[in-house]
Structure 1
Amino acid sequence: MENLIKINKIELIALWNKAKKVEGKPPAIWRKDIAGAWIRYDQYGKRTPYGWEVSYIRPLSRGGNSDIDNLQPLHWRNNKYKREDYPVCRTCVSSDGNKNIDKIRIWQIE
Structure 2
Amino acid sequence: MSELHSSHSAEGYDLEVVRSVWSLAQVIPGNDPEVWRKDEFGAWIHRTDYRNRHSDFGWEIADYGYSRRSMGLASLRPMQWLNYLDFMVAARNQAVVTADGLRNARRLL
- The bucket for the TM-score relative to the shorter chain is 0.7 to 0.9
Larger Rg: 2
Task: Please give the secondary structure, in 1, of the residue aligned with 2:108.
Answer: strand
Q: Contact (CA 8 Å) 2:65, 2:71: kept in 1 or not?
A: no
Partner of 2:101: 97
Normalised TM-score (structure 2): 0.76
Q: Percent identity?
A: 25
Q: Comparing both structures, which one devotes a greater share of its residues to strand?
A: 1
Instruction: Give the Cα–Cα distance (whole angstroms) in 1 for the partners of residues 43 and 82 of structure 2.
Output: 10
More displaced stretch, 76-85 vs 49-58: 76-85
Q: What TM-score does the superposition give when structure 1 sets the normalisation length?
A: 0.75
Q: Decide which structure has greater helix share.
A: 2
Determine helix, strand or coil for the equivalent of 1:24.
coil
Within 5 Å, give how 1:1-110 maps onto structure 2. 6-47=12-53, 48-57=55-64, 65=70, 67-83=72-88, 92-105=96-109
RMSD: 3.0
Provide structure 1 residue ranges, at least 5 long, that are not aligned to the other structure: 106-110
Aligned residues: 100
Deviations 1:55-109 (A, max 9, x none): 123597xx884721101000000000114698x786520012211111133xxxx
